[in-house]
């Protein structure tokens, strides 16, 4: 019987995806402040890769200093949104070097949560009007493992902290994938057109995201195919097992 296996990723894949995303988004999509955040994220991964991080350490973008988009009305096609909004993204992934390939791979060893917020750009305090989280569960979480939760960060109001459901299934695993989803929502036409080209490292971006989507969807498909009861409950309870080899090993 296979056991739960923490998600594993290659340092090089993450570093290159970060660099690619930075290049893709700079100027037109990310606020200028992102130019300082991306190199820090890359540096941190490099430190973990070179250091002795066999216990969990937090790879994060703090909520107090998030990755921001430029102000946009393009959440409606053609830029027809009612208000200018800004997207901000923060995350905390607890990671450590993998035991098997410590110089090449890291494991998600704890909390893995990406927070996405939409704010009104023209309000003096940039009022938050939407917030959701893209998360990977823990070994003992009720599922589904790869999920999105709405709000849940405050004690009152809709979706308060005390309400831990719903955990909506998601296709987005990494912070970079969650960011692309976010950009695709906030810049409906412009992002789609931008990433339809072959510019720069877009080829790499396509192939890396394609590979990870395929791995995830194949994994989900396997859960459904081998279930004996409700397919949804099978999906909900499914967790990555050692035999699944998500995501570092598969295809290598």
For the bound state, the minimum distance from the C-beta of residue 169 to another protein, rounded and expressed in Å, comes to 24
Identified binder of another protein from the candidate list 83, 94, 104, 141, rule CB under 8 A = 104
> Rounded to the nearest 5°, which phi and psi values hold at 92?
-140, 115
By CB under 8 A, residue 27 contacts another protein: yes
> Rounded to the nearest 5°, which phi and psi values hold at 135?
-135, 155
Range list of β-strands (E), the chain: 8-10, 57-61, 67-68, 85-97, 105-120, 128-136, 146-150, 168-169
Identified binder of another protein from the candidate list 35, 40, 76, 189, rule CB under 8 A = 189
Asked whether 45 and 83 are in contact (CB, 8 A), the reply is no
CA distances from 41 to 46, 90, 161, 175, 176 (A): 9, 12, 28, 11, 12
For the bound state, the minimum distance from the C-beta of residue 155 to another protein, rounded and expressed in Å, comes to 42
Tokens of 38: 């991306």
Question: Hey, which residues between 28 and 47 contact another protein (CB under 8 A)?
Answer: 28
By CB under 8 A, residue 73 contacts another protein: no
Asked whether 25 and 17 are in contact (CB, 8 A), the reply is no
For the bound state, the minimum distance from the C-beta of residue 12 to another protein, rounded and expressed in Å, comes to 6
Question: Hey, which residues between 194 and 213 contact another protein (CB under 8 A)?
Answer: 195-201, 203-204, 206-207
User: Residues 125-154: x/- map of binding to another protein (CB under 8 A)?
Assistant: ------------------------------
Q: What 3 state SS string does 214-232 have?
A: HHHHHHHHHHHHCCCCCHH
By CB under 8 A, residue 193 contacts another protein: yes
By CB under 8 A, residue 16 contacts another protein: yes
Binding site for another protein (CB under 8 A): 12, 15-16, 27-28, 104, 189, 192-193, 195-201, 203-204, 206-207
């Amino acid at each position: 019987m296979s056991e739960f296996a923490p998600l594993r990723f290659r340092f090089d894949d993450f570093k290159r995806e970060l660099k690619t995303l930075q290049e893709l988004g700079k100027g037109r999509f990310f606020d200028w402040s992102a130019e300082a955040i991306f190199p820090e994220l890359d540096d941190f991964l490099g430190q973990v890769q070179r250091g002795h991080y066999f216990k969990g350490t937090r790879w994060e973008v703090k909520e107090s200093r998030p990755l921001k988009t430029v102000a946009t009305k393009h959440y409606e096609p053609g830029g027809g949104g009612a208000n200018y909004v800004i997207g901000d993204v923060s995350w905390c992934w607890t990671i450590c070097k993998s035991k098997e390939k410590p110089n090449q791979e890291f494991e998600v060893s704890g909390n893995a949560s990406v927070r996405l917020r939409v704010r009104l750009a023209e309000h003096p305090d940039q009022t938050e009007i939407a917030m959701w989280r893209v998360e990977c569960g823990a070994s003992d979480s009720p599922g589904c493992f790869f999920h999105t939760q709405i709000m849940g960060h405050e004690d009152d109001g809709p979706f308060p902290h005390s309400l831990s459901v719903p955990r909506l299934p998601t296709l987005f695993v990494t912070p970079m994938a969650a960011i692309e989803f976010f950009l695709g929502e906030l810049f409906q036409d412009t992002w789609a057109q931008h990433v339809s080209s072959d510019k720069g490292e877009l080829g790499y971006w396509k192939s890396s995201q394609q590979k990870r989507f395929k791995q995830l969807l194949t994994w989900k498909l396997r859960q459904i195919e081998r279930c004996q009861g409700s397919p949804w409950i099978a999906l909900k309870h499914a967790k990555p097992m050692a035999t699944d080899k998500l995501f570092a090993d598969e295809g290598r």
